[in-house]
Amino acid sequence: MVEEQTQLAGPERNYMEGQQADEEQGNPENNSLHRPLLKRNLTLSSSPLALVGAKVSHIESLDYEINENDLFKQDWRSRSRVQVLQYIFLKWLLAFLVGLLTGVIATLINLAIENIAGYKLLVVANYIEKESYLAGFIYFTTANFLLTLVASVLCVCFAPTAAGPGIPEIKAYLNGVDTPNMFGATTLMVKIVGSIGAVSAGLDLGKEGPLVHIGACLASLLGQGGPDNYRIKWRWLRYFNNDRDRRDLITCGSSSGVCAAFRSPVGGVLFALEEVATWWRSALLWRTFFSTAVVVVVLRLSMEYCKSGSCGLFGQGGLILFDVSDVSLRYHVVDIIPVALIGVIGGVLGSLYNYLLHKILRLYNLINEKGKLHKLLLSLTVSLFTSACLYGLPFLASCTPCDPSLQEACPTTGRVGNFKQFNCPSGHYNDLATLLHTTNDDAVRNIFSTNTPTEFQYFSLTIFFALYCILGLFTFGIAVPSGLFLPIILMGSAYGRMLGIAMGDYTKIDQGLYAVLGAASLMAGSMRMTVSLCVIFLELTNNLLLLPITMFVLLIAKTVGDCFNPSIYEIILDLKGLPFLDAHPEPWMRNITVGELADVKPPVVTLRGIEKVGRIVDVLRNTTHNGFPVVDDREVPVGRQAIGERELHGLVLRAHLVLLLKKKWFLQERRKTEEWEVREKFTSIDLAERSVKLEEVGVTKNEMEMYVDLHPLTNTTAYTVVETMSVAKALVLFREVGLRHMLVLPKFQGSGVSPVVGILTRQDLRAHNILSAFPHLEKAKGSKKGQ
């Protein structure tokens, strides 16, 4: 056996080929690596590459499973009560800090946007008052152009992952997919500044999605003690140097983000629960709730402080708020019809939006892939188009005389208000300018306004709706931080209000309420959430009497939308190539076993319990797998003779092997090590380190001939399935327990049979990949659906 392995020197030969391989493969029958690599059957391998921010990244899976090797057990046993209390204290402290910082940053973002956009709009209003329309246009367009330029340059050059909402990537992270550079300090800074720039530039995007990403970034950075290069080496933090605790923190962070975006603590928790998180437990629910509570307190305090006028143009603004707690609501049976209608329209339009956005994002991906300049040009083109429309379209609307019975000032003085004078004579207002010559938040507030049944004309609303449909589709994919919530709310509220006008005297529901219901229906139709949206709208509107009617709309819109296509987040996840695992196996997965799946994969690469250094280096260089089964030899008595058999010891991670090589913990002879020997060399803190790269490790030729005892680093309790298990059930196990590798055992382990048939990873269990290897299942798929 030893001779066979010495042949394996010179490993660089197949290096590149190994890089392109799927996550696990190998050869249990003979120990030569080269042959299987050459005859590799690629049917089931799908490349672990994802398109994130239009940049192809190599993605890895996360280790949510507890790696129960000897070192872990040792560490576990030695943990004192004080250390456990430290851990618990720190868990809560971090949850508090996540809430606090998210709240503070959300306030700062709001403050910046309100002031930048506010002064910009005031200057433009002055130009228009002086009837210097062209100067106004140039000023408006230039300001927007520059702001977009800042946001876009930052995104393109420094942090491509900061573009877009970030929610799909967070969703994937919590599912176990680690998109690189998603939660770094650079991403965070670019996201904050970029979001301020993009929103101030008047683009059709919101700060809600970015805030969720900011919350998650903060959580990740806090958990690891700072940016990658300047980490605090606080000893307490070592407990958080694992994927499980980081997952919990990021869940807290994303709920805090939603909470900060909508001032909705319960809605934030539910959003994380319903849309973002894959695993959930009661303890986390509580901790998340604590974080959002902190966010709300921070927001309240800062708004209280800003009321005194010390925040420039901030005032009360910056947070969408549609307070209808004073509006009295009554339900009549006749109201069901328009409300149901809104729901149906929301479902249809929402799925249509998903469909069209999918097409446009594919087109944009083609453009973005061409290079940084193309990305920049695309963003700037959209900015110019947006500015032109926002500035020019209000001229199409006719002026409306002010209703003297209104209490509000008309035309509006100052920046915020419902009745912009624009180009109209005094005593008149331009209703389209009210919606377009303002920040998006104010536009929402204006279109949501109650007791103003005659304010908006049908024609203006139609233009507004058409404009935001176009902008909503073409703005989302550009290289700036953008959210999906606000564009959808703007579109939805427009058709809601239009429907309200169309209904006329049929119902007594306020037009502002129609706008709210329209926004809710389009969100449900596109994002397919129910409970969390319901609570968010509840907390936005501050009127519990709205609850039943909102529920009704959301249920209808989601049902209708589900008939056509999946939710927008699922579409984006798919488009980005992130291997997200769904909760439910496809029905046809019952007709295929994990054994069949393992068969079409290249044979698995196993390591011996006590392995030669040379072979480990070889295996690491020639494969890209992140886990290798460790197999032990043992003598089994059969009758009177003893047969050499191999039995499975466990699974060892690539990161640990690299660490082992780096620490040069080699043995001269083939022997088992004692526990104290290992403990001298490794701590469980070392094991959590993942940043060491194979290229950094130098192994001399002499060392290549030495041995390594893998037993102490091997996870002896890896989850296993027997090869006859159906893929459907294996998938349930994989996803529910949160695995990275799943070992497939043979049904019968006789002599000569390998103790491991294969390793399955996330990629192998994805429906798409299985179908491409087993096309006959496609037919079965076509004929039925559901459960």
Pick the binder of a copy of itself from 77, 233, 235, 701 (CB under 8 A). Answer: 77
Q: How many CA atoms lie within 13 A of 445 on its CB side?
A: 16
User: Can you give 48-83 as a three-state secondary structure string?
Assistant: CEEEECCEEEECEECCCCCCCCHHHHHHHHHCCHHH
Helices and strands (H and E) in the chain: how many: 31, 14
Kindly state whether residue 547 participates in binding a copy of itself, applying the rule CB under 8 A: yes
State the nearest-atom distance from the C-beta of 289 to a copy of itself, in Å: 5
State the nearest-atom distance from the C-beta of 423 to a copy of itself, in Å: 40
Nearer to a copy of itself by Cβ, of 300 and 671: the residue is: 300
Pick out residues in 550-589 that bind a copy of itself (CB under 8 A). 551-552, 555, 558, 583-584, 587
Nearer to a copy of itself by Cβ, of 315 and 587: the residue is: 587
Measured distance CA(508)–CA(498) in Å, rounded: 15
Nearer to a copy of itself by Cβ, of 309 and 786: the residue is: 786
Pick the binder of a copy of itself from 430, 726, 754, 761 (CB under 8 A). Answer: 726
Pick the binder of a copy of itself from 469, 538, 597, 756 (CB under 8 A). Answer: 538
Nearer to a copy of itself by Cβ, of 143 and 170: the residue is: 170
State the nearest-atom distance from the C-beta of 587 to a copy of itself, in Å: 7
Nearer to a copy of itself by Cβ, of 13 and 776: the residue is: 776
Nearer to a copy of itself by Cβ, of 425 and 639: the residue is: 639
State the nearest-atom distance from the C-beta of 329 to a copy of itself, in Å: 12
Pick the binder of a copy of itself from 258, 348, 494, 535 (CB under 8 A). Answer: 535
Measured distance CA(421)–CA(121) in Å, rounded: 13
**Nearest Cα to 655, choosing from 233, 61, 206?**
61
Strands (E), 505-626: 607-608, 610-612
- The DSSP element (H or E) to which 652 belongs, if any, is strand 641-653
Nearer to a copy of itself by Cβ, of 210 and 338: the residue is: 338
State the nearest-atom distance from the C-beta of 92 to a copy of itself, in Å: 9
In whole angstroms, what separates CA 271 from the centre of its chain? 12
Pick out residues in 86-145 that bind a copy of itself (CB under 8 A). 87-88
Q: Checking DSSP bridges between strand 720-722 and strand 741-745, what pairing results, if any?
A: parallel
State the nearest-atom distance from the C-beta of 627 to a copy of itself, in Å: 16
Pick the binder of a copy of itself from 548, 644, 674, 680 (CB under 8 A). Answer: 548
Strands (E), 122-185: 177-178
Pick out residues in 431-490 that bind a copy of itself (CB under 8 A). none
Nearer to a copy of itself by Cβ, of 37 and 739: the residue is: 739
Nearer to a copy of itself by Cβ, of 287 and 654: the residue is: 287
State the nearest-atom distance from the C-beta of 739 to a copy of itself, in Å: 10
Nearer to a copy of itself by Cβ, of 124 and 319: the residue is: 319
Nearer to a copy of itself by Cβ, of 6 and 724: the residue is: 724
State the nearest-atom distance from the C-beta of 575 to a copy of itself, in Å: 21
Q: What mask of x and - would describe binding to a copy of itself in positions 674 to 713, judged by CB under 8 A?
A: ----------------------------------------
Residues 6 or more apart whose Cβ sits within 8 Å of residue 4? 30, 31, 32
Pick the binder of a copy of itself from 16, 38, 230, 282 (CB under 8 A). Answer: 282
Angle at 109 between CA 103 and CA 114, to 5 degrees: 125
**Euclidean distance between the first and final Cα of the chain, in Å?**
51
State the nearest-atom distance from the C-beta of 341 to a copy of itself, in Å: 18
Pick the binder of a copy of itself from 360, 732, 767, 771 (CB under 8 A). Answer: 732
State the nearest-atom distance from the C-beta of 135 to a copy of itself, in Å: 45
Using an 8 Å Cβ cutoff, are 191 and 166 in contact? Answer: yes
Pick out residues in 592-621 that bind a copy of itself (CB under 8 A). 593
State the nearest-atom distance from the C-beta of 94 to a copy of itself, in Å: 15
- Residue 245, Cβ neighbours under 10 Å: how many? 16
Nearer to a copy of itself by Cβ, of 2 and 66: the residue is: 66
Nearer to a copy of itself by Cβ, of 92 and 395: the residue is: 92
User: Hey, what are 391's tokens?
Assistant: 């500035």
Pick out residues in 13-72 that bind a copy of itself (CB under 8 A). 65-66, 68
Kindly state whether residue 337 participates in binding a copy of itself, applying the rule CB under 8 A: no
Using an 8 Å Cβ cutoff, are 161 and 186 in contact? Answer: no
Kindly state whether residue 75 participates in binding a copy of itself, applying the rule CB under 8 A: no
Instruction: Choose the binding region for a copy of itself from 223-231, 473-481, 682-690, 742-750 (rule: CB under 8 A).
Output: 742-750
Measured distance CA(43)–CA(757) in Å, rounded: 17
Q: What mask of x and - would describe binding to a copy of itself in positions 307 to 326, judged by CB under 8 A?
A: ------------------x-
Pick out residues in 639-668 that bind a copy of itself (CB under 8 A). 639, 641, 643, 645, 647-648, 650
| Burial label, 22 (beta-carbon count in 10 A; 0-12, 13-18, 19+) | buried
User: Hey, what are 89's tokens?
Assistant: 């204290």
Nearer to a copy of itself by Cβ, of 574 and 582: the residue is: 582
Helix (H, G, I), strand (E, B) or coil at 159: coil
Q: Which residue has the tokens 């390591």?
A: 607
Q: Which residue has the tokens 């984006």?
A: 572
Pick the binder of a copy of itself from 143, 725, 744, 777 (CB under 8 A). Answer: 725
Measured distance CA(331)–CA(166) in Å, rounded: 39
**Nearest Cα to 144, choosing from 192, 187, 205, 190?**
205
State the nearest-atom distance from the C-beta of 285 to a copy of itself, in Å: 6
Measured distance CA(10)–CA(27) in Å, rounded: 18
Pick the binder of a copy of itself from 140, 173, 289, 468 (CB under 8 A). Answer: 289
Measured distance CA(370)–CA(363) in Å, rounded: 12
Pick the binder of a copy of itself from 38, 80, 310, 779 (CB under 8 A). Answer: 80
Q: What mask of x and - would describe binding to a copy of itself in positions 248 to 267, judged by CB under 8 A?
A: -----------------xx-
Pick the binder of a copy of itself from 39, 130, 747, 768 (CB under 8 A). Answer: 747
Measured distance CA(267)–CA(292) in Å, rounded: 9
Measured distance CA(246)–CA(183) in Å, rounded: 11
Nearer to a copy of itself by Cβ, of 491 and 678: the residue is: 678
User: Can you give 431-483 as a three-state secondary structure string?
Assistant: HHHHHHCCCHHHHHHHHCCCCCCCCCCHHHHHHHHHHHHHHHHHHCCCCCECE
Using an 8 Å Cβ cutoff, are 164 and 191 in contact? Answer: no
Alpha-carbon distances of 333 from 204, 432, 506, 518, 538, rounded to whole Å: 37, 34, 12, 19, 22
Pick the binder of a copy of itself from 300, 307, 359, 768 (CB under 8 A). Answer: 300
Pick out residues in 621-640 that bind a copy of itself (CB under 8 A). 634, 636, 638-639
- The DSSP element (H or E) to which 653 belongs, if any, is strand 641-653
Nearer to a copy of itself by Cβ, of 445 and 621: the residue is: 445
